[in-house]
Amino acid sequence: MNLWLLASTPAVETIIATAMLTTTSEAAPSTLFHRLSTNPEKVTELVERLEVQHGSILEHNRMNWFLEASEGEVLRILLTNKFFTFTRLSSNRWLVSANLRTVLESQAMRGDFPKLLLESISSVAPSIYTSARRMR
C-alpha cells in the first residue's frame, strides 16, 4: 500500500485556530486570520488543544490523496470508517478524500493505512500531526 497527499485546504491550521478564536473573540474572523498568519506559535498553541468530536472544526477542511491499494484493502477501510470517499482511478489506484477529523479518527484502525495517512499530513498540519503522534 502506498499513499501520497495530493492537495489540502490551504493554511489549514491557521483556519482551525481562527475558527477556535472566532467563538471566543469579538474580532472579525478575517482579522483573526491575518493576525494568526503572522503568529505561528499561537496557531500551534491553539491547535494542540483540539478535540475530535462531531461538529468539530476539524471537519471544515478537505484533503485528497492518491492511494495504491487492492480493492479488499479499500473495502476494509470503508467498512471501518464511512467518512472516507474513494474514487477508483484504475485497477489498484484510488483517489481518496477526507477531512482532518476523519484522519484522526482513523488512527484507531489497524494496518498500514492509518500510519501512512498520519505521516501524510505532517507538512500541511504539523501541530495536529505532532499531537496525534503523541496520542498513538
Q: Which residue has the higher pLDDT, 89 or 24?
A: 89
Q: In sequence order, which residues have a C-beta less than 8 Å from that of residue 117 and are 6 or more positions away?
A: 3, 65, 103, 106
Q: Which residue has the higher pLDDT, 68 or 51?
A: 68
Strands of 93-98's sheet in order across: 2-8, 63-68, 93-98, 85-90
In angstroms, rounded to a whole number, what is the distance separating the alpha carbons of residues 71 and 115?
A: 19
Q: In 10 A of CB 42, how many CB atoms?
A: 14
Of 108, 109, 106, 100, the closest CA to residue 127 belongs to 100
pLDDT, position 21: 80
Percent above pLDDT 70 for the chain: 93
Q: pLDDT-based confidence at 115, cuts 50/70/90?
A: very high
Asked if 99 and 63 count as a contact pair (C-beta separation under 8 A), the reply is yes
Judge whether residue 54 has pLDDT over 50.
no
Judge whether residue 48 has pLDDT over 90.
no
In angstroms, rounded to a whole number, what is the distance separating the alpha carbons of residues 18 and 37?
A: 9
Asked if 18 and 33 count as a contact pair (C-beta separation under 8 A), the reply is yes
Domain ranges of the chain: 2-135
pLDDT, position 124: 96
In angstroms, rounded to a whole number, what is the distance separating the alpha carbons of residues 12 and 8?
A: 8
**CATH 3.30.420.40 is right for the domain spanning 2-135:** no
Q: State pTM to two decimals.
A: 0.79
> Average model confidence (pLDDT) for the chain?
89
Q: What is the length of the chain?
A: 136
In angstroms, rounded to a whole number, what is the distance separating the alpha carbons of residues 71 and 78?
A: 10
Q: Which residue has the higher pLDDT, 102 or 47?
A: 102
Judge whether residue 52 has pLDDT over 70.
no
